[in-house]
Amino acid sequence: MSEVKNDYLVLGAANAPVQVEVFLNYACPYCATFYELVDTVLPKYIESNQVAVIVKHYDKPREMLLPGTLINANLDYSNPQRTLEIISELFKNQATWDKYSNHEIKQCIEQNYGLKEEFSNIDRSLLIIGEAIERNVTMVPTVFVNDLEFQYPREIFAEELVEVIEKQLEKAEV
C-alpha cells in the first residue's frame, strides 16, 4: 500500500488497514453522491478502526467546480472534525448553494459556519493539486481504496465499495 500524503482531513484511525482516499470537489454532484456513501455505508468500518477516509479537496480548474474552490479557501483545517461535519452538510445541501455567485458563497460560508478565507489553504491546495497530477487524477471524484483506483466516470456504488473494503480487510489479516 502506498504512503498516504496530504492527510489533513481523516475520518477514522489514520493507521486503519484500509485507506480510502478521495479526491473530490465540494461543488461536484458526483462527489456529493460518493460522499453520501461515506456518511451511510462507511461509519461501521470507520468506528471499528478498519477504514480511514482521507478527504482531499481538488481545486480542479473547471468553471462548474469554482464554487467548491471558494468553499475550500474558507475551511478551517486546524479543526478537522468540525471541517468534516461542514463538508458533510455542504454535500447534503449542495443543490441550495451550488449556483450562488462568488459573493453569495462567501456570505453563506461566513454566516452559516463562521468561516473566513484561510490563506494557508492556498499552500494546502497546491500540494493536493501536485499529488493529483502525480497520481494522474484527472476527474473528481477519484477514489483509491488502498491502491485500487476508481476514477469517474467509473463510479463506485455502495455494494461494490463494501465488497472492495471487505476484500482489502481480508488481505490485511493475512
**Each residue's pLDDT expressed in tens, for the chain with a length of 174 residues:** 668 888 889 999 999 999 999 999 999 999 999 999 999 999 999 999 999 999 999 999 899 999 999 999 999 999 999 999 999 999 999 999 988 999 999 999 999 999 999 999 999 999 999 999 999 999 999 999 998 999 987 788 899 999 999 999 999 985
The amino acid occupying position 159 is E
Residue 174: predicted pLDDT: 58
Q: What is the structure's pLDDT at 65?
A: 95
Task: Specify the pLDDT at position 1.
Answer: 64
Fold observed for domain 9-173: Glutaredoxin (3.40.30)
Q: Which residue ranges make up each domain of the chain?
A: 9-173
pLDDT for the residue numbered 156: 85
Per-residue confidence (pLDDT) for residue 12, from 0 to 100: 95
What are the start-end ranges of the H helices in 114-156?
120-134
Report d(CA 33, CA 97) in Å as an integer: 16
CA distance 79 to 68: 19
- Which is nearest to 82 in space by CA: 53, 50, 51, 114? 114
Q: What is the side-by-side order of every strand in the sheet holding 51-57?
A: 9-11, 51-57, 18-24, 142-145, 148-151
